[in-house]
Each structure stands twice: as structure tokens, then as C-alpha cells.
Amino acid sequence: MAHVRKTACPLNCWDSCGFNVTIENDKVTKVEGDPTHPITLGKICGRGRMLETRANSSKRLLHPLKKVNGSFEQITWEQALDEIAARLQEVKEQHGSTAVLHSHDYANNGILKNLDQRFFNSYGGVTELYGSLCWGAGIEAQKWDFGEAWSHEPNDIYNSKNIIVWGRNVARTNMHFYEKLLEAKKQGAKLVVIDPLYNATAKIADEYITIKPGMDGLLAAGIIKEMFRLGLEDREFIEQFTHGVADLSQLLEEISLAEISEITEVSCEVMTKLAVVYADKPTATYMGLGMQRYKNGGNTIRFIDALVAISGNIGIAGGGANYANLQVGQSFAFEELTLSKRKQNHRQFSIMKQAEEVLAATDPEIKMIVVTCGNPLTQVPDTEVVEKAFTKVPTLVVIEQFMTDTAMLADYVLPTTTAFEEEDFYYSSMYHHYVNYGPKLVASPGETKSDLWIWTQLANRLGFGEDFDFTREEWLQMTLKPLEDKGITLEKLQALHTMELPVEKVPWSDRKFKTPTGKFEFTSFAVQQKGDNGRLTLAVPDESKWNSPKLAEKYPYSLLTIHPLRSNHSQNYHLLGANLKLKVEVAQNIAEEQGLKNGDYVKVWNDRGEVKGYIFILAKAHPNTINIDEGIWKQFGGSVNNLTSSRESDNGLGSTLYDCLVNLEKVN
């Protein structure tokens, strides 16, 4: 008999939706939206609905596998765990615990997924990854400027007079914000979209502004320049609550508006118009997570923050420099869960350069990689080098639901459960501030086991089982400990399924910033104390005609690799049907220059590699712009990261995936 139960989406997404899941004969048969969820209100996207296909797919990994003579063989859990534990022990004794690399990402969310860190900390401390392929440069930028990366709560949008959506196609990636934009427009707000691609969000804008990819920081500089020229800046806010405005003013003297217009390919008139919009408060700015994936990425977000500060749109309802909302995740007891102080040894590799660092490591060499919640072969830049590194390491263990590009290279593949098969909490630090409860809904198929079970078994074998000697209920209670006195308990969350977390709904309304000066910092005092100048710069992407003229001659097109519509990163491509083709989206001028029509087969290449795919012409994309959605698997023509660079952003914590010039030609 079918019955419906509430749970939540586990995917790494802005919206963190509430679900109503239909279950028949211990099987999930349908995933729909939960109309009672306060933010997501019953609507979900195709990626969420596909979780039913993922859970029931015949391609699920159901048994532990070991590679023997180049082929996978099914083994028992006992054998898999005994051999992996013995190898972990051997590596630690012979080379030290940092000879193990833990490659972790956020493919499967759920708070208890973080217990992998507890395992490796108790083991003695391993080589960990720092930074983020996705949003790292922007997070660090906002920490320099505000001291934290916090956003306004979703319904604050209805207080805005003007809304600037900058480099964020919310219609694809943040659908409930899209709904709110429609409502805010109905209530009279004006919507401006700035993006090199004329996307579905741009279609509902009152004004769409096209820009050369990677030049967003410079556009913000131009708007600030116009605000100063027209006397539109918020003098009171600047004088009382900011630090370093003289450095900013001096910097802007170094460039004319006409020069900014030439580089950004945005007219001076548009910059003047935007200066007036920013002064017409409250104006909210909602940034996406793509425009910081450049060498100048941190500076880009810092310049947009500076524009929001100069216009006095900080700490007021309807305003904000909304990029991430880390205060959501900061609500939980991560320290207690992960035991970060337990580790005795420690080494860090950049997540962007993990492959190069594996190949170069000597003291000690990397002898073992354990991959959790990720598919680095598809997601990490410069695929050729990643493949080389992950093939070279003597032991690769991958915990997975499917045979991904990374799992294909593994020595051991351990089959794990989906969110419907285990109890956990779900939240997102990108958008709303509600935590969702997800009960175990169905039995786990085959021999699949939760990540938590795997860590517990390995910990028992390695002699630190007491660190994992808790029931799931106890782990969940531990997670909520800091929230208990605010009335958020496991029992309540189990009953209500979603609860509002106690966060600042309009951050910085008290004007007390978490920076060393206590002010908004145009020039970062913390960075200055470390010996750098901490100032904003007039930086542009590394791979641009301004910084690399010869490269730009050889490779005239800017490549973007935006999030796919039907897959969460690389997660669903194998489920999307056999006729899946890699789509190369090109601006109209490229098609005209190269004599291309829709459906033509082309090669896209640069010095790092190539991919082949089929042309789709974007009539309104910014000239010389190409997009290939990220995440596509090798067997379907990917990965687009064959083309991207492993360089790090200016502040060292983000990727430069979009800082990528390519050429293209038709092939047979």
C-alpha cells in the first residue's frame, strides 16, 4: 500500500527543498514537493525528482568491489574493510598518516556525512584539501570585507526597491528565489540582470546588461566611479562604518570610465544608469557563484561588496551583498562532530591543485587516496593531470553510489546509501535558513551501507571505535546541541520536519562587522597584517587579451562551464538516456565567423586538452563567449575540465575554472 512521507533534498543546491515522497512496497516511487515547507512551498526541480530514478537505478553499486588484474570483482564487506583498514595501518606506520589524502566534496549532503573528517582526525590527521572549486574565492573575499559571508533571509527581497541579480541564473539554480523575484516585481521592484548569457532569469528582467566574462569587478569599479562623480555615495555610512575608502578613491583615479567601458564591453551610459539605481535605496545585490571562478575572482566579489557599501546598501532591509549565507551551517556543532583538535599530523593541498600536489609530494609521498562525496575525475580542473595522479597512487578507495569516472580508477569501491535510506539533517548555506529533517524511508538495497556505518567499522578495526560508539539518534542530538536552548531539538525537528534557525535576517544591521577594525573594510586590515597590501585592484582575468595577448590571439573565445539543468554537477548524466550529447553553446558572432549551424560537430581546444560536441547557437550571448555545462562524464564526451586550468584565484581559496580561453573548429 502506497504512503507518503516528508523528507528533504540532499543535493548541494541553494534551495534545500522539502519533499513529499511516495513509498510502495519499501520502494520510493515518486518524489514531489512538500507544500508545507515555508520556503520551497511544494515546488521542486527535475534534479530533485530524479532522486527516485537514482535510488532505484539498476546501475546502483550494490556490493563492495575490488580491482584485481584490471577488473572489478565482488568481495565481502568483511574482506573490503579488513584490507582497507590494514592498508591504512600500514601506510601510517611506514610513511605517516599524512601519506593518506582525503579527497572530499559535497556531492551527497547530510550533516552526518561530515563524520568522514572525524574518522581521519581520529586516525591521526591526513592530507586534507583546502579551498573550493565553487565559491571559495568569494567566501574569502567577503570575510576580508565584512568578516563573514552572510546573506539576507529570502523574504527580505520584498523590501527591495531595486534588485540586481549579478551572474546568477536563478531560474536554473535557485528556483524558489526566481518565484520570489516574480512576486517582488509584481509588488513594484525593478529587476536588473547582469550576465554574459541571456538566460531564463534575464528574460524576466526590466533591464538586461551583457558583460564580457570575468570583467564584473571592473564594472563595479565603473559604477562606484560614477557614484562619486555624481555625488551619489552614502557619505555617512562610508565615514562612520568603513575603513580604507581613500585607497579605493586613489585606485579609481588610475582608470577612466571610457577605459572601463572598453574592457568590460559595457557602455558608460549603462554604468551611469546603474549608479543611479544603486543610490535609489534599498537596492539588493544577489551574486552568483560563477564570476569569482577567475584569477581575479576574489577581487571581483570584493569590488561588488565595495559598490554595495559605497551606496549604503549594507545592514538595511531590502539591501545586502548577498553571496553566501554561512551563518546557516555555523548553527551546528561541527567542532564536536569532526573532532578537529584530535589530529596529531596535518598537511593541506589546494583542492584545485590536488593532482599536481599528489604527483609532487615527497615528504611523505601520497600512498593512498580516499574519496568521499565527490567525483574529482570529472570536477577537478585539468583532467589529464588528475587522471595521472589518481592512477599513480598505490591505493585508491572510493565511496560511491554509481561507477563514476573516479570510481572506475579505484582499487576498492564501497557502495553507499542514498538519502532515502538513512536518517539525517539537510540545510544549505547558500540561501534560506531552515534546517530540514530526513528520516530513513526505505531499506538500503543490496549490500549498500551508510558512510557512517563504513567509518564506524573501519574505526573499530583501527582501534578508535569509541570515537564512533554513538547511535544515529545520539549523533543527531550532538549536532543540534548549540540549538537546544533556542528550542530546536531532535524530537521537535522529527515532528515538524523543518525549523527556522536563529540567524541574522538582515546581517550587519547593527553596523558591527566581524573584521579587525569592526568596520566594512575596502582595504583588508587582516591581510595587511599578514604582509600583503589588502587593497582592491583593477584586475582582469589571467587568460584575457589584457594579460595574455599572445594566448588571446591563439584562443579567442572565453569558455564558461555553468551548472547543468538536469544534473547536479556530474551526478545524473548516466541516468539521462543513451543519446546524451555534449552541447557546445556559442555566441552568434562565433557561429557567423566559423560558418557554423546548430548541430554541427566541433572540437573545442586549448593547450591543456580538447573536447568534442555539438553546436547550439545562443542568439543573445555576449560576443566571443562559449558555454559547455560542467559535469559530463568521459563516456559522453567530457569532461570539460580537460580544458580548464588548476590555477588558484587571487586569494588562494577558489578555482579559476572560467578563466579559460579556447578555440573551436568544425570536425567531421
> Contact residues for ligand SF4 (CB under 6 A)?
9, 11, 13, 15-17, 44-45, 47-48, 175, 568
Beta bridge partners of 507: none
Q: Which is nearer to ligand SF4, 165 or 396 (CB)?
A: 165
Q: Which is nearer to ligand SF4, 408 or 565 (CB)?
A: 565
Give min distance, CB of 421 to ligand SF4, in A: 17
Q: Which is nearer to ligand SF4, 11 or 99 (CB)?
A: 11
Residues 273, 261: contact at Cβ < 8 Å?
no
Give min distance, CB of 116 to ligand SF4, in A: 22
Give min distance, CB of 568 to ligand SF4, in A: 6
Residues 13, 289: contact at Cβ < 8 Å?
no
Q: Which is nearer to ligand SF4, 15 or 543 (CB)?
A: 15
Amino acid at 545: K
Give min distance, CB of 150 to ligand SF4, in A: 20
Cross-sheet strand order for the sheet of 65-68: 71-74, 65-68, 412-415, 395-400, 368-372, 100-104, 127-130, 347-350
Residues 423, 436: contact at Cβ < 8 Å?
no
Give min distance, CB of 36 to ligand SF4, in A: 15
Give min distance, CB of 197 to ligand SF4, in A: 20
Q: Which is nearer to ligand SF4, 44 or 271 (CB)?
A: 44
Q: Which is nearer to ligand SF4, 16 or 117 (CB)?
A: 16
Q: Which is nearer to ligand SF4, 45 or 559 (CB)?
A: 45
Could you tell me which of 320, 334, 330 has the C-alpha nearest to residue 505? 320
SS (H, E, C) 482-533: HHHHHCCCHHHHHHHCEEECCCCCCCCCCCCCCCCCCCEECCCHHHHHCCCC
Q: Which is nearer to ligand SF4, 237 or 286 (CB)?
A: 286
Could you tell me which of 54, 109, 38, 48 has the C-alpha nearest to residue 430? 109
Could you tell me which of 351, 571, 368, 364 has the C-alpha nearest to residue 458? 368
Cα dist. 13→4, 176, 324 in Å?
Answer: 24, 11, 12
Residue showing cell 550587519: 508
Q: Which is nearer to ligand SF4, 13 or 266 (CB)?
A: 13
Give min distance, CB of 545 to ligand SF4, in A: 37
Q: Which residues contact 20 (CB under 8 A, 6 or more apart)?
A: 4, 5, 6, 31, 32, 33, 34, 35
Per-residue DSSP letter, 553: H
Give min distance, CB of 419 to ligand SF4, in A: 10
Could you tell me which of 301, 6, 31, 15 has the C-alpha nearest to residue 180? 15
Give min distance, CB of 11 to ligand SF4, in A: 4
Could you tell me which of 430, 423, 433 has the C-alpha nearest to residue 499? 433
Cell, residue 296: 581575479
Give min distance, CB of 181 to ligand SF4, in A: 15
Q: Which is nearer to ligand SF4, 233 or 629 (CB)?
A: 629
Residue showing cell 558591527: 512
Cβ neighbours, 10 Å, residue 553: 10
Cα dist. 296→274, 568, 657 in Å?
Answer: 22, 26, 12
**Residue whose CB is nearest to ligand SF4 in the complex, by number:** 48
Please tell me the distance from the alpha carbon of residue 560 to that of residue 199, in angstroms, as a whole number: 13
Residues 645, 381: contact at Cβ < 8 Å?
yes
Give min distance, CB of 368 to ligand SF4, in A: 33
Burial of 144 (0-12, 13-18, 19+ CB in 10 A): buried
Beta bridge partners of 665: 603
Give min distance, CB of 363 to ligand SF4, in A: 42
Q: Which is nearer to ligand SF4, 303 or 437 (CB)?
A: 437
Q: Which is nearer to ligand SF4, 500 or 610 (CB)?
A: 500
Q: Which is nearer to ligand SF4, 147 or 564 (CB)?
A: 564
Please tell me the distance from the alpha carbon of residue 380 to that of residue 365, in angstroms, as a whole number: 20
Give min distance, CB of 344 to ligand SF4, in A: 38
